[in-house]
Structure 1
Amino acid sequence: MWRHQRRPYISEVGLDISGIDQQADLQEEATSVLDSGSKTSLESPQLGIWDLAWPAILGNLLFAVIGIVSIKIVGSLGAEAVAAVTTGHRIFFALQAVLMAVSAGTAALVARAFGARDHLEAAHITSISLWIGNLVAFVLMLPCIIFAEPIAGVFGLDEETTSQAADFIRYLSLFNVAFSINLILGASLRAAGDTKTPLWVGAAINVVNVVFVYLLVFGLYGFPEMGVVGAAVANGLSYIAGAVILLYLWYGKKLLVGVGGRGSITFRRVQQLVHIGYPAAIEQFVFQVGFVAFLWLVGFYGTEAFAAYGIGVQILSISFVVGFGFSIAGATLVGQHLGAKDPDGAVVQGWRATGLAIASMTALGLIIAVLAKDIAWYLIHDEKVVRHTVTFIYIMAIAQPLMAIEFTMGGCLRGAGDTRFPLVATMVGLIGVRVGLAVLFTYLELDVGWIYGALIGDYLIKCIMIIHRFRSGKWKQIFQDTEDRF
């Protein structure tokens, strides 16, 4: 097996000169892990799209299947319970926008460091990101618990559904820090080119999740019967399981990305994370606000239409995860090629990843559309909910090629450090088009199918904007400008 040449990246260790020996040891540890053959490594970005995409797709597919099983379990409690879980999840992730920003900054910086073969810097970035992410997660916990009821009430659902959604948010928020650890370490590993470890850890998380959803929702084998709250606690316990596994592997020096030393926390790294991450935070905030506004409009059509949206998204997640997988692959390869001073290679990999995503998601969307009624009826025996779910799936099947472009090419831009343009595209597409059309259709008192159809306009506009941005090539210089600035 070929061997890396070890280099002391003294200019990157910050101001703590006394820590150079420790950091040199860390570089040696990173090298030994790479040479052990337990992980794939890069001299230049040699990993293919499928090498990176298939573990991410499979891992997310497991999450999607478990999500469907969870919906089946919760669906036995009625449409109100499904609507409560849908609302709770949406609000929980809306409140994690800052964490998503830290994750985006981590991914871009780690991918670039690995592309430049600077594994020590990748370790430092991971360490400081984890500290920041955990602090943010802890701070977010309190408002999630205190304001859960009024936030859940925004959707205008009936009192019982709102109360269940608020309880779901409160309990799930108790596990914020564990969620942060999974998010940050997972992003760092994928950016480094290791998508297999998150796959296996994700499999463990899924097993824990589905077992405890089954036990806690129904109160079986001596466990308390917790209903919707049981689903939240099950989610949280699965986050803890994933966090424990990842931290054990990380501190045990068994991962591709090492543990940073005393020199990890420097003002320059914080500046880089903030500079790349804050547009992603704003994008996530805009996305979640737009999403909440859209679901608020769906709520005007009743609990059944609201529950149908949640069920439809869960079913279609089987297709979505393919796009997420190619998004991760594209972001990683684009970042690493730019780190290796190969912008032309970054362009080629971006287009290849997008083409594969379009073909895969289009095919899956058609298959799901054909089976839509049978799958929906299996998940919930409510004729009105099933009818709305089928309508939603038919509409979204049409949008799959557009979603593939937005997911994958948007991921490529973020991998290059261009987090500002996806923000602009999200503001125009989601707020201007999706919510704007939904408001118009609601005002005209059109059928809920028209509200669902607003998503096509959203993704069409975002695709046009993102393709134009990628073809312009302006994203190639963004990360270098960031490094020069800081």
Structure 2
Amino acid sequence: MNEEKSTVQEETEVAEKKDFFSFIKNPIRYDVMQLAWPVLIELLMSSLFGMVDMMMLGWIADKALAAASVAAVGITNQPMFIGLSLAQALNVGGTAMIARYVGAKQDHRVDSVLKHVILLNLVFLAIPLFAFGILFTDEIMLFMGAQADTLDAGRLYFKIIMVGYLFQSFNMSITAALRGIGETKAPMRINIRVNSLNVIGNAVLIYGLLFFPALGVTGAAISTALSHVVASVMMVRYITRKESPLKVNFRKKFRYNKTVIQNLIKVGVPASMESLALRIGVLLFVRIVAGLGTVIYASHQIALSILGLSFQPGQAFGIAASSMVGRSLGAKNLGLAEAYAKETRKIGSLISTFMALILFFFGRQLVSLYSNDPVIIDNASMALKIIAIVQPFQSSQLILAGALRGAGDTLWPLVATFIGVFGFRVVLANILVNTLELGLMGAWLAVLADQLIRWFFVYGRFRTNKWKYIKLK
């Protein structure tokens, strides 16, 4: 009898081990993890480094200057993010096209797509926005709701960051192309190295270590801008090597291609409008929050910094879904495209939910890493509890929207964002903050409503399966 029990137990253990290894060896899941984990590490490390930068500013000895510096970074980053989001939207079209061409075994078309994306980004977005930001720094910051102390702290920071923006937009185009062909490890390695240098540079220039002067928030800007320049050099060196999987020849004469432009317009314009709508909505939202005062806005900015870390799994798996769905549709394998989308959503959502639990139960401890101001700790930790509730819906929405973009279906993410941001986030925040006087809690409740609505629209569109039949030339 005991022998029979022992045999059954051994068979059960073998079966469990078999199930475990079959989970690891599942080809769909394996492909998802192979592509997504470098993106996830890259984004998480970027967020962590950004959090460390914010902590450094928050721990400046003068509390008033520390709060003004944190608020200045938040206010100046918002208009810059508009430019970055527009560049990223154009890159969405590049990623979708490159993934389709690679899936269809038309690798020779990748060079032309990347060159078009880089030129369009620099000539029509990066350079004009850089000039506008330099010329109208004070006007932009005042429009954002900056108070006198924030304006003084952030004026030079904004100008220096705009220089870095030129190089950052260039780097984003190359990264998007690499992700389109399924290469995610190289951007990860480059970004980790560069961000490590940035953190060291921030520490040296903010506090005046070694023989450098203490430059505060201006030092953070100089270090960040230089890191983008270094990243550009490393990106170009990588893609011009003979063994690079992304075949680009910058010596080859550029030729205008009407088909590339048509595809970029078809995919990129709705994505650009989505990004623009999101950033304008967030900008209006930030103005509402900035009206609560410098200390409350600093609390909000710290909550956003931590939020940036928590939604990175959704971003990473959304990028993976975009690449894999695009390549599967290029190979005309519709079933595989759907399988990749569902698997990325499942894994990414599980990771995000785990992170949400950490935010909910350990919010105060996380915020205390940024500041020892009790008002900031109370307000930011309250916001983190609401963020924790947002997380599962936000992650699912980001991943499925990434799958839709990879298919070239960028209209419905635009609809979802427009309704969610303007119809709910901005309107509700105005009511809850200014009319009902719920303070920062009211603002974050509006964010919760926005994410729920966006999830509803994106999930509904994905369920129709119409995204599988979007045509690119």
Matches of 2:29 and 2:454 in 1, distance apart? 30
Equivalent residue for 1:281? 272
1:98 positional shift:
3.0
1:86 pairs with 2:74: yes
Equivalent residue for 2:20? none
1:465 pairs with 2:437: no
What are the equivalent positions in structure 2 for 1:275-314 lying under 5 Å apart?
Answer: 275-314=266-305
1:176 positional shift:
2.7
Contact 2:198 2:223 in 1 (8 A): yes
Matches of 1:228 and 1:266 in 2, distance apart? 44
| Matched residue SS, 1:59 | helix
Matches of 2:464 and 2:181 in 1, distance apart? 26
Equivalent residue for 1:439? 430
Matches of 1:264 and 1:60 in 2, distance apart? 34
Matches of 2:294 and 2:391 in 1, distance apart? 26
1:47 positional shift:
6.7
Alignment match of 2:160 (pick from 147, 171, 181): 171
**1:297-326 CA deviation, whole Å, 9 max, x = no partner?**
111221122111211122233321111111
Matches of 1:48 and 1:226 in 2, distance apart? 46
1:66 pairs with 2:54: no
Equivalent residue for 2:311? 320
1:157 pairs with 2:146: yes
Equivalent residue for 2:31? 48
Alignment match of 1:425 (pick from 416, 421, 431): 416
Amino acid across the alignment from 1:429: G
165-174 or 252-261, which deviates more = 252-261
Contact 2:29 2:343 in 1 (8 A): no
Equivalent residue for 2:92? 104
Contact 1:47 1:193 in 2 (8 A): no
Amino acid across the alignment from 1:469: R
TM-score normalized with structure 1 length: 0.87
Equivalent residue for 2:40? 57
1:278 positional shift:
1.3
Matches of 1:305 and 1:267 in 2, distance apart? 50
Matches of 1:353 and 1:253 in 2, distance apart? 32
1:231 pairs with 2:220: yes
Matches of 2:90 and 2:244 in 1, distance apart? 20
1:449 pairs with 2:432: no
**1:309-345 CA deviation, whole Å, 9 max, x = no partner?**
2111222333211111111111111111100101121
Amino acid across the alignment from 2:150: T
| Matched residue SS, 2:311 | helix
Contact 1:326 1:357 in 2 (8 A): yes
For structure 2, the 5+ residue unaligned runs are 1-26, 61-65
**1:101-132 CA deviation, whole Å, 9 max, x = no partner?**
22111111111111112111122211221222
1:87 positional shift:
1.2
Matches of 1:208 and 1:277 in 2, distance apart? 33
Contact 2:130 2:162 in 1 (8 A): yes
Equivalent residue for 1:198? 187
1:134 positional shift:
2.4
Matches of 2:312 and 2:341 in 1, distance apart? 18
Contact 2:75 2:146 in 1 (8 A): no
What are the equivalent positions in structure 2 for 1:137-152 lying under 5 Å apart?
Answer: 137-152=126-141
**Cα gap change, 1:181 to 1:254, in 2 (>3 Å):** farther
Matches of 1:165 and 1:286 in 2, distance apart? 25
Amino acid across the alignment from 1:213: N
Matches of 2:313 and 2:255 in 1, distance apart? 34
1:201 positional shift:
0.5
Equivalent residue for 1:363? 354
| Matched residue SS, 2:215 | coil
What are the equivalent positions in structure 2 for 1:23-42 lying under 5 Å apart?
Answer: none
**1:439-461 CA deviation, whole Å, 9 max, x = no partner?**
11122222321211111110111
Equivalent residue for 2:105? 117
Matches of 1:96 and 1:53 in 2, distance apart? 22
Matches of 2:258 and 2:32 in 1, distance apart? 34
**Cα gap change, 1:228 to 1:139, in 2 (>3 Å):** same
Matches of 2:264 and 2:440 in 1, distance apart? 41
95-104 or 149-158, which deviates more = 95-104
| Matched residue SS, 2:454 | helix
1:131 pairs with 2:131: no
Contact 1:201 1:242 in 2 (8 A): yes
Equivalent residue for 2:208? 219
**1:419-466 CA deviation, whole Å, 9 max, x = no partner?**
121111100001111111111112222232121111111011111100
Equivalent residue for 1:348? 339
Equivalent residue for 1:14? none
**1:156-181 CA deviation, whole Å, 9 max, x = no partner?**
23212023333222111112331122
1:374 positional shift:
1.2
Contact 1:116 1:339 in 2 (8 A): yes
Count of residue pairs the alignment pairs up:
438
Matches of 2:29 and 2:393 in 1, distance apart? 29
1:76 pairs with 2:59: yes
| Matched residue SS, 1:451 | helix
For structure 1, the 5+ residue unaligned runs are 1-43
TM-score normalized with structure 2 length: 0.89
Matches of 2:46 and 2:85 in 1, distance apart? 20
Amino acid across the alignment from 1:454: A
**Cα gap change, 1:164 to 1:275, in 2 (>3 Å):** farther
Amino acid across the alignment from 2:440: V
**Cα gap change, 1:46 to 1:356, in 2 (>3 Å):** closer
**Cα gap change, 1:163 to 1:253, in 2 (>3 Å):** farther
Contact 1:216 1:226 in 2 (8 A): yes
Equivalent residue for 1:411? 402
**Cα gap change, 1:97 to 1:444, in 2 (>3 Å):** same
**1:17-36 CA deviation, whole Å, 9 max, x = no partner?**
xxxxxxxxxxxxxxxxxxxx
User: How well do the aligned residues superpose, as a CA RMSD in angstroms?
Assistant: 1.7
**Cα gap change, 1:254 to 1:218, in 2 (>3 Å):** farther
Matches of 1:238 and 1:80 in 2, distance apart? 24
Matches of 1:126 and 1:47 in 2, distance apart? 28
Amino acid across the alignment from 1:476: K
1:264 positional shift:
4.9
Amino acid across the alignment from 2:436: L
1:406 positional shift:
1.3
Equivalent residue for 1:269? 260
